[in-house]
Structures are given as structure tokens and as C-alpha cells.
Amino acid sequence: MAAFVKSYGLQLVDRSGKEFDVQQLTAADVIAFYFSAHWCPPCRSFTPLLKKFYETLHAHGERSLKIIFVSSDQSEHDMWKYVYDSHGDWLALKFSSELKDRLSRQFQVSGIPQLIVIDGVGRQAVRDARAEVMAATSSTQVLTTYLGWKSSAGASSAPQEVSSGLLAPGSRVKIRGLQSKPENNGLEGVVQSFDNSQRRYVVNIADRPLSLKPSNLLQIVQLRVRGPEPEDPWQEAELKDLDEASGEFLCALPDREVRLRLGPRVHVNAGAVVAVHGLQNESAKQWNEQNGKVSDFDEATQRYSILMSGGTCLKIKVDNLRLCPLT
């Protein structure tokens, strides 16, 4: 994939318009060309779905998909307005590139939108990627679909891929429960990496790295919160702190802070790492006190989909997960 892009001599830019060095692409990246334009009604319908697909992958620590927008807009101004108004944080072929028509011919693009996932020699690796994106209506389906793309494209496993049970690099955390250096409790930091030999995270706090156990970290994750009445709307909130005595989370809404427990009024967004506990089913007990990642929430059954190691997906009640402490 990356070798094809490099050999083609494509001039790429990022979402800010800055030139992108194609040498940054690796054999672990999956390349998808997105042929589209703002004037095209089907494109305007599909682009938000592709953006959600892309952002769902990022929320789960999967950052190997590289989308390259190939514009059929009528002017460069129209192209950038389309990018800023509707696109995700992906790459674009320069509007003035003479290779646009050549790419269209190579992939037999007769209409837009078209999403072309390529393999290592530049052949189309997925028969109908657009249809697969449209069919992936849950986080689990997005991840399953993308694993299929990686296999079809022949992308090598990236050494930096994050396990389902680990906080991704860049995750924001709050330090808690330290006995040896209590002055750090309450400070916020950013996860740099995970030391598997020590089973500790390296957390950067004001340019100072600390090695910390998972149990000493509270994720600052996004939640969905609503009022006590069924007609109350859902609101986005950020988890700020945990009250050990009551078990309540301090959640920051746009206009106020509230204390709530996880439950029907508080849902954890996809991407959060949780610890599984209290499972009684004999086939599921093995997952108790292990970490997994939230994939989706089913309103009808009030069950979370939790991705565990090895690709296992558990459907569990809120009572069987906890955000803190992790194991």
C-alpha cells in the first residue's frame, strides 16, 4: 500500500493544507482512496458515514487507516470547503495534481462516491468498501470490517497497535491512590506507553514521566448523560473524578458538574477501557478481573459490548464493568 503511493509520486496534503511526506507511510498502513466531491448528493450522504467509521477506529486505538481524498470539486476553494465542513482528519491529493485522472482510470472510477482500498501493489483489495462502511452500524461491525480490510490489503501488523485491554498512548488520566508519592494524587497526565514487563504505564505529567500501576489511574473519558425524565435529551459529558466513598463519578457537562453512577442515565462512550468483574456464567468467568475496551452499547438490552483480548466480544451489564480501578 505505502510502497504504491510512494512509487506513484503522489503529492499529498493534510487537512491543514500542509504537504505530507509520503515516507511517513508504513507497511502497516491501509490506504483507501476516496473519490468524492461536494456537489455530489450521494457523496454528501456518504462522507459523514465514512468520517464516523474512521473516528470509531481512532477511538479504539486503531490508527492505521490512511484515507486519501481525491477531489472532483469544481474549484480548489470548493474542495477545501468540503474538507473543512464534512471530512475527517485524513489526507488529500493536491487539487492541481496531474495524477488525478490517472488514478481514476487505474481504479475504473466511473462515478462518485467511490472508496478504493488497495493492496501492496496498488490493486483494489476490497470489492465494495463503500457498501461495507454503510453496513457497519456499530463499533463492533466497524472493527470487524476493518480487520477484513487489513487482511485483504495484506497490511503487516503494526508493532504499536494497542491491545483491547490497554489505554492508548495519548489517553488523558488522573493520578489517584499513590502511597509513596501522594503529592502526585489529583494531577492530570497523558499516557506515553505501557511497560509490559513491569505492568505499568509511563505517564507524562508536565514533561515529567512517571511509572504507574493501572490501579492508580482514572481515565478522563467521554460519557453520555441525561436527566431523570425519559424525554430528557442526552448530553456529552467528561468524567473528571471519582468519589471513593460513594462510588459516584464527577461528570462535567457544558453548563455544570454533576455526580452520577454508571447506569441508565450515564453511558460510557466507545473506546474507554474497563475492568470486567462479577461474571457468573461458567464460560465467561475467565474474563473476570481482566481489562477490555467498550465497543458499543445496546439500548434495547442495556448491555455493553466489550472487546477482550484475542478478539472476544462480551455482552455485559453495567454492573459487571468498572472504569476504576483497572487491573
Interhelix angle for 139-153 vs 41-59, to 10°? 90
293: Cβ–Cβ under 8 A, 6 or more apart, which residues?
Answer: 60, 61, 164, 165, 271, 272, 273, 274, 306, 307
Q: What is the pLDDT of residue 192?
A: 85
Distance CA 288, CA 320 (A): 9
Q: What is the pLDDT of residue 2?
A: 66
Q: Which residue would you say has higher pLDDT here, 14 or 147?
A: 14
Q: What is the pLDDT of residue 245?
A: 82
Distance CA 1, CA 31 (A): 6
Residue 218 cell numbers, joined? 482514572
| One-character DSSP codes across 301-312 | TTEEEEE-GGG-
- Mean pLDDT in the chain? 89
Question: Per-residue pLDDT averaged across 117-133, rounded?
Answer: 91
The one-character DSSP state at 255 is S
Question: Per-residue pLDDT averaged across 180-205, rounded?
Answer: 89
pTM of the model: 0.55
Least confident among 38-42, 275-279, 312-316: 312-316
Residue 161 pLDDT class (50, 70, 90 cuts): very low
Question: Per-residue pLDDT averaged across 188-198, rounded?
Answer: 86
Q: Which of 60, 57, 81 is nearest to 69 (CA)?
A: 81
Q: What is the pLDDT of residue 1?
A: 56
Q: What is the pLDDT of residue 254?
A: 85
CB 290 within 8 A of CB 307: no
Neighbouring C-beta atoms of residue 210, cutoff 10 Å:
18
Strands 235-243 and 248-252: antiparallel
pLDDT digits 0-9 by tens, 59-82: 877 888 999 999 999 999 999 999
Whether residue 31 has pLDDT greater than 90: yes
Q: Which of 34, 71, 75 is nearest to 51 (CA)?
A: 34
Question: Per-residue pLDDT averaged across 288-298, rounded?
Answer: 91
Residue 56 cell numbers, joined? 470509531
Question: Per-residue pLDDT averaged across 319-326, rounded?
Answer: 93
Distance CA 27, CA 6 (A): 11
| One-character DSSP codes across 189-230 | EEEEEEETTTTEEEEEETTEEEEE-GGGEEE--EEEE--SST
CA dist 253 → 226, 246, 248, 318 (Å): 10, 20, 15, 21
Q: Which of 167, 147, 196, 202 is nearest to 272 (CA)?
A: 167
Residue 289 pLDDT class (50, 70, 90 cuts): very high
Whether residue 89 has pLDDT greater than 90: yes
Whether residue 179 has pLDDT greater than 50: yes
Whether residue 3 has pLDDT greater than 80: no
